[in-house]
Amino acid sequence: MNIDFDRSKIVKEIHIRWADYGASAKGRLIAGKEVKSPLDIPNEESVSVITVGSQVSAISLRIEGDMARVIDYTVIYNDSSLRELNSVNYDFSLPYYNKQEMFKWSENIGDRYLVLLFFGTWCSSCHERLPVVSKLAEKYPYVNFVAVSAGNSGPDVIQEMFDTLEVNLECIVDPEYNVCAQLNVIGVPEIKIFDLDGNLVKEGNLKEPELVEFLDSIDRNERSEVGEPLEDFTLEYYDNEDTYTLSENVGEKNTLLLFFTTWCTVCRLEIPAISEKAHEFTEKTRIIAVAAGEKKEDVKTFFKEKGIDLECLVDTDYKLIKQLGLTAVPQQILLDVKGNVIFNDNKSHEEIFHILGNL
């Protein structure tokens, strides 16, 4: 991470405020060509004071490991009355490897969590991690996954790597390692996760179990709570132009919403299984499938192919998915007669039948 400061002045000290990150870490500050004393970063919110005492052209911070995060820092000049307080700036722009467009960090914050996977085409561990993350991108379509190629690998090299590994991710390139330095990427593979407000909430050489656990926690933390009314929404049916509005349909029966996609392997098994026995529960519960990010024609084809007989709405632009904070499919939300959430989870059709049978 690069430190912003006035290069015309002599820097006396840098005060760095660390977030409470749950574990201790190591770091170092580089002022010009001089490496300052190693930093012992405690596992709680704290401040490190590093003496510089000279006029330099560049100051950067390097964190060893993945368990530390900077909240902000203060630059104090030789005249102690002069100081600057800086929040960490994550904003950047990088080109895509395969199209004449720029990826802008600021334009990708707000709608979805952003996962950046930094990799090198020469890195064997990256060859293992990229396919894993690519598959997770399919499982969590409401999280924005972007690969970042560190170094000057050309587009042909990246494309060959992606083809060989069957990776289907958007990819941008950081040929001069500028963004790597800005975001304190010390080695690859490295993952940085930003929340809806642009805060860096998770980082490090995250392997699949840890990454899945975190992605699932996003869903749990942001979904509607049990006992609370579900936010109102309106969607079109997949087979006509009519619309369904939740608030106009509560009051008579419970409502089970089944969120799915036509390409999700689990969904392709669970939705037909639920459809097969849905008629046994319609006296008390209205069962409605919700196709996430799907076109009507694709849903029609899927329903015909699998012989599915369910009401179905289409959330083509993920508007409802984002509204409810869902990040993975399949997902089910069961509402009581008043529209309050009974459960909001990913359950098997057997578990769903058991719950519906006891209503």
Q: List average pLDDT for each run of 10 residues in the chain, which is 359 residues long.
A: 81 80 69 76 76 84 65 78 64 93 88 90 95 89 89 95 95 91 83 84 88 77 66 94 94 94 90 95 95 94 96 92 82 92 88 89
Phi, psi torsion values for 63, nearest 5 degrees = -110, 130
Distances (CA, A) of 146 to 22, 35, 205, 253, 327: 27, 33, 15, 42, 16
Does residue 305 form part of some domain? yes
In this structure, are 300 and 253 located in the same domain? yes
Helix 124-139 to helix 155-165 angle (10° resolution) is 70
Does residue 5 form part of some domain? no
Distances (CA, A) of 216 to 3, 181, 208: 34, 29, 12
- Provide CB contacts within 8 A for 328, sequence distance 6+: 139, 140, 142, 215, 216, 219, 346
In this structure, are 60 and 117 located in the same domain? no
Token couple for 222: 């942001």
In this structure, are 240 and 315 located in the same domain? yes
Does residue 137 form part of some domain? yes
Does residue 229 form part of some domain? no
In this structure, are 133 and 78 located in the same domain? no
Rounded CA gap, 67 and 62, in Å?
12
In this structure, are 295 and 181 located in the same domain? no
Does residue 1 form part of some domain? no
Q: Give the domain-ending residue among 191, 222, 253.
A: 222
Helix 265-277 to helix 349-357 angle (10° resolution) is 30
In this structure, are 253 and 281 located in the same domain? yes
* Total-model pTM: 0.51
In this structure, are 127 and 65 located in the same domain? no
Which 3-state string (H, E, C) describes the chain?
Answer: CECCCCCCCCEEEEEEEECCCCCCEEEEEEECCEECCCEEECCCCEEEEEEEEECCCCEEEEEECCCCCEEEEEEEECCCCCEEEEECCCCCEEEECCCCCEEEHHHHCCCCEEEEEEECCCCHHHHHHHHHHHHHHHHCCCEEEEEEEECCCCHHHHHHHHHHHCCCCEEEEECCCHHHHHCCCCCCCEEEEECCCCCEEEEECCCHHHHHHHHHHHHHHHCCCCCCECCCCEEEECCCCCEEEHHHCCCCCEEEEEEECCCCHHHHHHHHHHHHHHHHCCCCEEEEEEEECCCHHHHHHHHHHHCCCCEEEEECCCHHHHHHCCCCCCEEEEECCCCEEEEEECCCHHHHHHHHHCC
Specify which residues 54 forms β-bridges with: 11
In this structure, are 103 and 185 located in the same domain? yes
In this structure, are 83 and 109 located in the same domain? no
Does residue 228 form part of some domain? no
In this structure, are 83 and 98 located in the same domain? no
Q: In total, how many domains does the chain have?
A: 3
Does residue 299 form part of some domain? yes
We report the CATH number of the domain holding residue 183 as 3.40.30.10
Does residue 335 form part of some domain? yes
In this structure, are 258 and 211 located in the same domain? no
Q: Give the domain-ending residue among 222, 252, 283.
A: 222
Q: Is the distance from CB of 332 to CB of 292 less than 8 angstroms?
A: no
In this structure, are 197 and 246 located in the same domain? no
Rounded CA gap, 275 and 277, in Å?
6
Specify which residues 62 forms β-bridges with: 28
Domain span at residue 33 reads 11-87
Rounded CA gap, 113 and 111, in Å?
7
Burial 169-186 (b: 16+ CB within 10 A, else e): bbbbbbeeeebbbbbbbe
Q: Give the domain-ending residue among 32, 55, 87.
A: 87
